[in-house]
A and B are shown apart, each in its own frame.
Chain A
Amino acid sequence: MNEHRYEHLQAILERGARSHGCQSAWISSPRKRPKKVGPMSSFWIVRRALEVSARVERDVTMKTRLARFPFVKTLDQFDFSFQPALNEAQIRELATARFVANGENILLLGPPGVGKTHLAVSCCR
């Protein structure tokens, strides 16, 4: 398996591990393992990575459905040029969801139609 592909799979596994609250992914470090990874075990890595990515995807769709959003929009769909007063960097920082880990709140204030709901929804996608 070539290096690039290996890193890609590793990224998928890490992501899966994180979203399921595990300490580390199934393969612990790309530095230690690549040499040992033979043709057979690479098959298992691919299989495992596919499983994990499918599970993550299911998890996200399920949670999106449970959240009952009025619509699903991403931050990239937000037209920052239309609201110049808005600090884009600040919004992007919020979208990393660090505030959720700290239990903090966000209050979006403004007249109707300036995109408060859009921002609120996209902050958690």
Chain B
Amino acid sequence: MQGISVVFFTVADLVDLVQQDVKEDRLERRLHALSKPKLLILDEMGYVPLDQRSAQFLFRLISRRYQKGSIILTSNKSYGEWGDVVSDYVLATAMLDRLLHYSTTINIRGESYRLREKRKAGVFHDLTAKALAPRPLPEKHKGRSQAT
């Protein structure tokens, strides 16, 4: 697996870049540069909503690379929710259409490795449950966690 040119970007970085490039009027050059590498990794699609310009940029990038260069994309959103991220359902559908034509989807279900140690130690309860329904911990649990 040598000799392959790769570029790694988080989508948040990409949004920043696009905004800057628009100011400095070099969006086309950026598009060209990002179409070149054999493999482009776009990380964390879905955390940051895309404004219209970056959504269009991303779409053009994907269609330029279609059947020419590979993209690895990581996302916490399922395909159905992409419309909200891109804030344009038509564009999201077109993007996904091209992305998925030749693609492998790997769906990972599981818990976070970052929080695994914490959970073992019992430092926190259940993050997702807490986020969904924020409420104080029961008295019994509080006492136990102080003791440990």
| Contact surface of A with B, Cβ cutoff 8 Å | 15, 18-21, 56, 59-60, 63, 66-70, 79, 82-87, 90-91, 94-97, 99-100, 102-117, 119-121, 123-125
Please tell me if the beta carbons of B108 and A106 are within 8 angstroms of each other in the complex.
no
Please tell me if the beta carbons of A105 and B108 are within 8 angstroms of each other in the complex.
no
| Contact surface of B with A, Cβ cutoff 8 Å | 1-10, 38-39, 41, 43-44, 65, 67-78, 99-100, 102-116
Please tell me if the beta carbons of B103 and A107 are within 8 angstroms of each other in the complex.
yes
Please tell me if the beta carbons of B1 and A124 are within 8 angstroms of each other in the complex.
yes
Task: Among B3, B38, B44, B106, point to the contact of A107 (Cβ < 8 A).
Answer: B106
7 closest cross-chain pairs (CB), A and B: A113-B112, A110-B108, A19-B3, A116-B74, A105-B103, A67-B6, A104-B102
Number of A-B pairs whose CB atoms are under 8 Å?
163
Chain B hits for A110, CB < 8 A: 76, 107-110
Please tell me if the beta carbons of B102 and A102 are within 8 angstroms of each other in the complex.
yes
Task: Among B1, B3, B68, B106, point to the contact of A90 (Cβ < 8 A).
Answer: B106
Please tell me if the beta carbons of B110 and A117 are within 8 angstroms of each other in the complex.
no
Task: Among A18, A102, A105, A114, point to the contact of B71 (Cβ < 8 A).
Answer: A105
* Bound complex: CA A69 to CA B43 (Å): 10
Given contacts A67-B7, A107-B104, A119-B106, 10 further A-B contacts (CB under 8 A): A19-B2, A63-B6, A66-B7, A68-B8, A68-B9, A105-B100, A106-B73, A107-B103, A110-B109, A124-B39
Chain B hits for A19, CB < 8 A: 2-3
Chain A hits for B106, CB < 8 A: 86-87, 90-91, 106-109, 119
A94 CB → nearest B CB, Å: 7
Q: Which residue of B lies closest to A67 (CB)?
A: B6
Please tell me if the beta carbons of A108 and B75 are within 8 angstroms of each other in the complex.
yes
Please tell me if the beta carbons of B7 and A68 are within 8 angstroms of each other in the complex.
yes
With A108-B72, A117-B44 as known contacts, state yes or no: A97 contacts B4, CB within 8 Å: yes
B128 CB → nearest A CB, Å: 8
B129 CB → nearest A CB, Å: 14
Please tell me if the beta carbons of B112 and A85 are within 8 angstroms of each other in the complex.
no
Chain A hits for B44, CB < 8 A: 117
Please tell me if the beta carbons of A83 and B108 are within 8 angstroms of each other in the complex.
yes
A9 CB → nearest B CB, Å: 17
